Amino acid sequence: MRYDVIIIGAGPAGLSAAIYSARGALKTAVFEKAMVGGQITVTEEVENYPGFEQAISGFELTATMRAQAERFGAEFIEEEITAMGMEGLCKVIEAGGKFYRAKSVIICTGAHPRLLNVPGEERLIGRGVSYCATCDGALYRDKTVAVVGGGDSAIEEGIFLTRFAKKVIVIHRRDELRAQKIIQERAFRNPKMEFIWDTVVQKIHGETRIEKLELVNRKTHEISMLPVDGTFIYVGILPSNELLESRIDLDTGGFVITNEYMQTNVPGIYAAGDIRHTVLRQVVTATADGAVAAWSAEKWIIENYDSFEVESAKQ
């Protein structure tokens, strides 16, 4: 099977890339190994994607993106891509025991927050357990929230949460933060922020919503309960980069390095969305990346395939 563009991953980045690519009359296939829509499908209320005055569910938002891409002819293939040959002009993709060829590939495999891996956590995601203050912070106006972690993201997001929450309690496993000093100082000066040191969360309690955190002090082994309305977990974000060979340049965190055209170091291969080395991981940035990547892929196909006369760029 031959395509102009193969997109790996049908989260917001892949869906947007598919809309732009298919609308540009490129033969486009989008591969998805789990759920079309990506990470955002678990979110009940997306309040910050432009164009929706009222919150929209992540599922509904991305289902509409899919319908939009299909209207322009994008093909969705619900298979995991397990191998990718990047050499030469023609890229070869393996999924479900079959081989697919493409002139250009856009990697939109996304990322996922590192979980604490404690009882109650996965069950209460979207019901008080969150990994994204930018996304969910505004839902906690005048509430008490906990932030788990001590690095830059945890403390910056904790400070951000004080705009809404009446109290932000940072729970950190050590007796000092890892965040940059300037960020720490801002946090210590903030009257809404409190700190619980040398402590880890060992269980998250709640039936239909989060109710309290079960904490254990690592030095005294004392167990305590902390009632909260929400908990934001920042113990790291992991790129979904298992597929990428050593040929794609990654940063130290494992995210794909691109230029402003979303181009990787391998000609004809682009990356968009959360998998990319970037400063903000949101639906709006993922869709913007996807649009740029599809535009760049089209330019690349026209330039290279016209000059090599392999096939018409537009089938």
Rounded distance between C-alpha atoms, residue 108 and residue 242, angstroms: 12
Would you count residue 148 as binding ligand FAD (CB under 6 A)? no
Q: Which CB, 105 or 215, lies closer to ligand FAD?
A: 105
- Applying CB under 6 A, among 12, 128, 137, 158 the residue interacting with ligand FAD is 12
Would you count residue 258 as binding ligand FAD (CB under 6 A)? no
Would you count residue 131 as binding ligand FAD (CB under 6 A)? yes
Would you count residue 69 as binding ligand FAD (CB under 6 A)? no
CB of 135 vs ligand FAD, minimal distance in Å: 3
Would you count residue 67 as binding ligand FAD (CB under 6 A)? no
- Applying CB under 6 A, among 7, 159, 169, 243 the residue interacting with ligand FAD is 243
- Applying CB under 6 A, among 39, 153, 199, 264 the residue interacting with ligand FAD is 39
CB 105 within 8 A of CB 5: yes
What distances in angstroms separate CA 309 from CA 105, 195, 303, 305, 312, one per listed residue? 19, 64, 10, 5, 7
Residue range at the interface with ligand FAD (CB under 6 A); choices 38-46, 159-167, 207-215, 218-226: 38-46
Pick out residues in 81-120 that bind ligand FAD (CB under 6 A): 81, 108-111, 113
**What DSSP assignment string belongs to 129-159?**
EES-HHHHGGGGTT-EEEEE--SHHHHHHHH
The token pair that represents 308 in the structure block: 């090599």
Residue range at the interface with ligand FAD (CB under 6 A); choices 4-12, 145-153, 229-237, 249-257: 4-12
Would you count residue 38 as binding ligand FAD (CB under 6 A)? yes
Q: Which residues contact 54 (CB under 8 A, 6 or more apart)?
A: none
- Applying CB under 6 A, among 6, 7, 26, 40 the residue interacting with ligand FAD is 40
E strand map for 81-190: 81-85, 91-95, 98-107, 111-113, 129-130, 144-148, 167-171
- Applying CB under 6 A, among 5, 6, 13, 29 the residue interacting with ligand FAD is 13
Half-sphere exposure of 271 (CA within 13 A, CB side): 24
DSSP state at residue 38: G
Angle at the Cα of 36 (from 35 to 37), degrees rounded to 5?
A: 105
CB of 281 vs ligand FAD, minimal distance in Å: 4
How many residues belong to the site for ligand FAD (CB under 6 A)?
Answer: 40
Residue range at the interface with ligand FAD (CB under 6 A); choices 3-11, 173-181, 192-200, 231-239: 3-11
Would you count residue 156 as binding ligand FAD (CB under 6 A)? no
What distances in angstroms separate CA 97 from CA 19, 79, 81, 82, one per listed residue? 27, 10, 9, 9
Rounded distance between C-alpha atoms, residue 89 and residue 123, angstroms: 45
Would you count residue 31 as binding ligand FAD (CB under 6 A)? yes
Q: Which CB, 109 or 153, lies closer to ligand FAD?
A: 109
Q: Which CB, 200 or 284, lies closer to ligand FAD?
A: 284
Half-sphere exposure of 241 (CA within 13 A, CB side): 24
Q: Which parts of this chain interact with ligand FAD (CB under 6 A)? A: 8-14, 31-35, 38-40, 42-43, 46, 48-49, 80-81, 108-111, 113, 130-132, 135, 240, 243, 273-274, 281-284, 286
